[in-house]
Structure 1
Amino acid sequence: MNDSADYCDDFYNYVCGGFVNSTLIPDDKNSVNIFITLNDKVTKQLNTIISRPSQPDEPEIFKLAKSLYKICMDTNAIEEQGVKPLFDYVEQLGGWPVLKKDNEWDESLFNWKENIAQILENKFWVTGFFGFYQTIDIKNNTRRVIGLSDYNAGLARKNLIKGLEDKSVLNYFNYMVNMSVALGAEQEHAEEELKEALEFEIKLTNLTRPDEDYRDQTLAYNPMTLGDLAKRYPYFEWKKYFNYELSPSNISVDNDEIIIVSNPDYFDKLDELIDSTPKKTQANLLIWKEIRSLSGFLNKNIREVNGNYAKIRTGIIKGTPRWMKCTNTVSSTFSIATNALYVREYFKKESKDNVAVMIKNIHNQFIKLLNSTSWLDEETRINAIKKAEKINQFVAYPDELLNNSIINDYHKAFENFEMIGDSYLESSSNLDFFGNKIGWSELREKNVPNMWDSFATRSSTANAFYSSSENSIMLPAGILQGEFFNNELPKYMNYGAIGGVVGHEIMHAFDDQGKQYDADGNVFDWWSNSTNEQYKKKAQCIIDQYGNYTVKEINMNINGINTQGENIADNGGIKAVYLAYNDWSSNNELEKKLPGFNFNSRQMFWVAYANTWCSKSRLESQKLRLIYDNHSPSEFRVNGPLSNIEEFSTDFGCPIGSKMNPEKKCTIW
């Protein structure tokens, strides 16, 4: 707390000022907050589990997870192998031109339209100019489809298109050069060739759309048959490529296959740009992307290049400990297996039951809000309530994680899978190939929303989620502890902390993107024209409010458009939670004051909410967050919503016209 601050002027500073002033950021962190602290706790817990010796009777997938951790931690083996696994792979693509003298690189060996390389028995068709993936049809969420997306740049579009005059672009370019030099390139030669590669990447990025455009979900929804795709973009053998990628899964496509293209204009212009670009420049960029993605599996010398770039980019002083990186790798690769181990050892079932009751109360209050919202026409209100009532709620973990038979059956495809000796890169590549093989084998299967496995992959995560395509909220076991939730704390603390998270996720169903989905999780326009226009006006108020907030330490403004969904969720969510707590308190005995605080229970609710957002970040991290993160910085996640809520001003007696009680307020719900 910061008692010298005026809570009617800056509530965030009042609650979090003491934390900000007294907290030292660890050398390996770019920020400190409750989420990061809790995530570190979960990571340590996971590490304790996966670093134990395997037991003879435990599921094979548990043994595989522990095996991957050992391989990742075996830095001696990684040092012995050096960069040879990488060079073996890259040479199959004709080699990285920047590492060769001008007369050594043979451009006849490179063809971006048919770049095939092999690691062990697994062959990869390297296509770095577009994305190819399996996704769910946003207008029919029972159908799995093939997606095709535009170029994924190595840096934020906003910065990259500015060129080398932008400091972050210059740092990225130096990173490219430093990596090539570490692999044997000559400095001057590398600067010359990789500058051309960077300029090519900038041109590719200019063909893509800014993130703001994709707030409209339908903009990226452009279905066309494979036959039509081939006619419109005849410069690439799409059918041959798709069937090559799908062949390990025994899946094939014909000209009637539906492809969802995210940005047709990009593919209209791609061929002309590539044809006007020298092959050597194409190869330097594509192979750079491959090297960057694989460099984390290599020896210390190469990893240090990554680490130095991370230090410049984020402001950290030293890198993340190896055990933590390896734990995170294992928990993301074998998420269901590690989560099964986690919830069995570290989660108490009574917490799950108590949080479920709280969610129900908040959910009910939100439906009451919909009923009382004056600007909704009746037909839209009925549809909104229908959607709210159908929100699925997943708390802590699915019970399937406690059943070894189910875990074994789910991972049946891994029965005969083995790691590749002590090679970290080869084992990881084999896992990627195998995972893709399993994933694509499901292409023809009906997608069933809200199956247990989608929740099981996140059960140890110290965060919460809303899924528009499933119309569901997820509160994993990982976040139901620490300062977010404790069965022994007063309800005003739990409602303000984890309750605020619950309200936020529920409100995502009705933010600017969530509102585009119906009760069943499909994109469908269920809003009347007049009510939709009202919504847009109210959302614009939120956009303008947050767009005018400046992060003083770095003198940068928030992007009000890109953050509007999170801001809408913050504003409406905490209001619904406050009403839920009031409803609970009116039917229960008055709760005791928290020792050391002279606030009543309603005031403590707001304090508990603000406390969850106390954060301290390095300047470099603050800049990155404003560029990449759709969430507003912490102080505005407190002061922004609370200054819009009359109940906060009433509880603290803030006079009209004060910063926390402005005359003009932005409200949607």
Structure 2
Amino acid sequence: LSSANLGMLQESLMEERNNSAIMAYEKYLAETAIALNASREVAEMDAKDVVDLEKELASIMVPREDKRDHSKRLNPVSLNDLNSISDNLDIVRALRTSFDTVNITLAKNERIISYYPTYIGNLSSVLQRFSNRTIQNLFGFSYAVTRVAGLTRKLRDIKLEYDMVVNGVESEPHRKDFCIQKTSAAFWKGLSKQYVLRKFPKAAKDYLKKMIKHLMKEFHRIIEEATWMSGHTKVGAFAKLASMRQSLGYPDEDFEDSDIEKFYENHTMKYMDYYNNEVIRFNQARQLMLKSLRQPSSKNQWELPPHEVNAGYDPNQNLLMFLAGILQPPLFSETYQHYINYGGMGVVIGHEITHGFDDEGSQYDKDGNLRNWWTEEDRQSFRDRAQCIIDQNSNTNVVEVNITLNGVNTQGETIADRGGLKESFRAYQRKVKRCGTELLLPGLHLTQDQLFFLAFGQLFCEKWKPPILKMLLASGSHLPARYRINGALQNSEEFAKAYNCPLGSFMNPQKKCSVW
């Protein structure tokens, strides 16, 4: 049990009531209801009440900073005792009603994990201050805005007006792109199979496996060299690193045509009926999720479409994921020079490996269990090193919007960025020793090491509108690209040496911070 997503980000809803984004959201709800034949007077009143309710719900949600300690999430309670922590909310009835739809009976001793009991406890008192109509409308508006925005021209214009205020959007996505996105979400297995056949040859996967092997060896050496860690904690770190599983490019199992046909055999689609197809797809996904209760988790199950441009690390499975969509030029190719591949994709690989040992990932053991394998002294040494990063980020102002970075929420990504850069550069150096120095790129008067860091600098090319940038800074864990790249390089002695940056200069400050 946890807090549900609201119509806006928690941080946005906690702004003043007359904030332009909140008022645009209220108008968005009202105009959507009016377009669906509600009277203006009633729709505007209902929308106002729902926004008031969402603001109250946002105020009792746990701050993101507090969510980084995952031990606070582990609060088991039996189904029989669940209502005792939720006062007048009959959560048990709601759960049983949901699972009844898939013929699963919940026993009284069924164990529930309550992520944040204080939120559940406060929820009842908040809801008691609002009418049943407003609570029902919260669900109704939530359903409406997620289901109908892609239908009529009028509804799309209402959504666009909202996005212009809140997200700085100037025009809606091309209809073709919208349709591709929806089709991709509905039929990702079939689409991914065709993408992989055309865009990700076996040679690329073989090269990737070697890169990961080299990066993991380098991280092993970094752990060995860590003078701030005791032998006891290093044993746990080595075990976790050795146990990391890998999902590379695409699934090795259940990816044949017959497997894909079986996956979709119960998917019903109606010709020329987009809305009902979306409803059917949602219900099918929901039933599949409910049926998974008490089923053993599959270590071979892919949860992300291989054609997506993405990579990740899942601490619950101790799993590295690199999708075929990200393993493409200009970031990666088995035909590229090693300094390009290691400066680009190599850093991404190192980044994800390091996530297993950042402030959140390090709370999980080699089997993905939330278990402390650190000595208290070593954990404190980790915190001290992380605090240096937190302080650096907290003293960095994003000049584009004049907002200071949140050092606590960005520490994990920063730890991973700096660790990944270090691991990949060291792995590249060993590659050069084994294979020899590569030819330089024509027309560029840069050394191989400089080209490595140049490839890294081109990893994150982005430009944000101010409203979106403000939203990302308030709720996100990543730094904007400019600060992300410069921050990693400023804290890299290898970069300073490669580009001959004088000690004390902007790109080579005297004080440097890293965990790994």
What TM-score comes out, normalization by structure 1 length?
Answer: 0.74
Cα 1:397–1:170 change in 2 (3 A) is same
Match of 1:587, SS state, is: helix
Q: Is 1:415 aligned to residue 265 of structure 2? A: yes
Q: CA deviation at 1:297?
A: 4.3
Q: Is 1:632 aligned to residue 479 of structure 2? A: yes
Match of 2:211, SS state, is: helix
Match of 1:597, SS state, is: coil
Contact 1:643 1:665 in 2 (8 A): yes
Aligned to 1:444: 294
CA distance in structure 2 between the aligned counterparts of 1:288 and 1:176, rounded to whole angstroms: 7
Aligned to 1:550: 397
Q: CA deviation at 1:285?
A: 2.8
Cα 1:433–1:185 change in 2 (3 A) is closer
Candidates 617, 637, 652, aligned match of 2:499: 652
Query: What are the equivalent positions in structure 2 for 1:391-406 lying under 5 Å apart?
Result: 391-400=244-253, 402-406=255-259
Which amino acid letter does the alignment assign opposite residue 281 of structure 1?
T
Aligned to 1:488: 335
Q: CA deviation at 1:378?
A: 0.7
Q: CA deviation at 1:188?
A: 5.5
Match of 1:662, SS state, is: coil
Match of 2:138, SS state, is: helix
Aligned to 2:278: 428
Q: CA deviation at 1:416?
A: 4.5
Match of 2:331, SS state, is: coil
CA distance in structure 2 between the aligned counterparts of 1:238 and 1:192, rounded to whole angstroms: 28
Q: Is 1:605 aligned to residue 452 of structure 2? A: yes
Q: CA deviation at 1:415?
A: 2.7
Which amino acid letter does the alignment assign opposite residue 634 of structure 1?
A
Q: CA deviation at 1:388?
A: 1.1
Candidates 10, 13, 17, aligned match of 1:164: 17
Count of matched residue pairs: 516
Unaligned runs of at least 5 residues, structure 1: 1-147
Candidates 198, 202, 209, aligned match of 1:356: 209
Cα 1:416–1:637 change in 2 (3 A) is closer
Cα 1:589–1:272 change in 2 (3 A) is closer
Match of 1:395, SS state, is: strand
Q: CA deviation at 1:417?
A: 4.0
Higher relative CO (Cα under 8 Å, sequence separation at least 6) belongs to 1
Contact 1:151 1:208 in 2 (8 A): no
Q: Is 1:370 aligned to residue 220 of structure 2? A: no
Contact 2:73 2:114 in 1 (8 A): yes
Contact 1:151 1:204 in 2 (8 A): no
Contact 2:244 2:320 in 1 (8 A): yes
**Cα deviations by residue, 1:267-308 (Å, 9 ceiling, x for unpaired):** 222223222222333333332222112222432211221122
Contact 1:543 1:560 in 2 (8 A): yes
Structure 1 stretches (4+) deviating beyond 6 angstroms? Answer: none
Which amino acid letter does the alignment assign opposite residue 305 of structure 1?
I
Query: What are the equivalent positions in structure 2 for 1:608-623 lying under 5 Å apart?
Result: 608-623=455-470
Contact 2:409 2:477 in 1 (8 A): yes
Contact 1:226 1:238 in 2 (8 A): no
CA distance in structure 2 between the aligned counterparts of 1:330 and 1:638, rounded to whole angstroms: 34
Q: Is 1:454 aligned to residue 302 of structure 2? A: yes
**Cα deviations by residue, 1:238-272 (Å, 9 ceiling, x for unpaired):** 33322221123221102111111122122222223
Q: Is 1:390 aligned to residue 243 of structure 2? A: yes
Candidates 168, 186, 191, aligned match of 1:333: 186
Candidates 409, 414, 424, aligned match of 1:562: 409
Q: Is 1:318 aligned to residue 166 of structure 2? A: no
Aligned to 1:238: 91
Q: Is 1:519 aligned to residue 366 of structure 2? A: yes
Structure whose alpha-carbon radius of gyration is higher: 1
Cα 1:281–1:417 change in 2 (3 A) is closer
**Cα deviations by residue, 1:47-98 (Å, 9 ceiling, x for unpaired):** xxxxxxxxxxxxxxxxxxxxxxxxxxxxxxxxxxxxxxxxxxxxxxxxxxxx
CA distance in structure 1 between the aligned counterparts of 2:95 and 2:40, rounded to whole angstroms: 39
Match of 1:482, SS state, is: coil
CA distance in structure 2 between the aligned counterparts of 1:290 and 1:574, rounded to whole angstroms: 43
Contact 2:332 2:345 in 1 (8 A): yes
CA distance in structure 2 between the aligned counterparts of 1:370 and 1:416, rounded to whole angstroms: 49
Contact 2:82 2:92 in 1 (8 A): no
CA distance in structure 2 between the aligned counterparts of 1:350 and 1:296, rounded to whole angstroms: 42
**Cα deviations by residue, 1:154-206 (Å, 9 ceiling, x for unpaired):** 11222212232433222222322332333345556544442232222211221
Candidates 96, 100, 120, aligned match of 1:247: 100
Q: Is 1:580 aligned to residue 430 of structure 2? A: no
Contact 2:200 2:324 in 1 (8 A): yes
Q: CA deviation at 1:421?
A: 4.4
Q: CA deviation at 1:647?
A: 1.2
Match of 1:400, SS state, is: coil
Contact 1:499 1:577 in 2 (8 A): yes
Match of 2:204, SS state, is: helix
Aligned to 1:82: none
Candidates 177, 180, 183, aligned match of 2:30: 177
Aligned to 2:112: 259
Contact 1:156 1:627 in 2 (8 A): no
Percent of aligned pairs sharing the same letter: 32
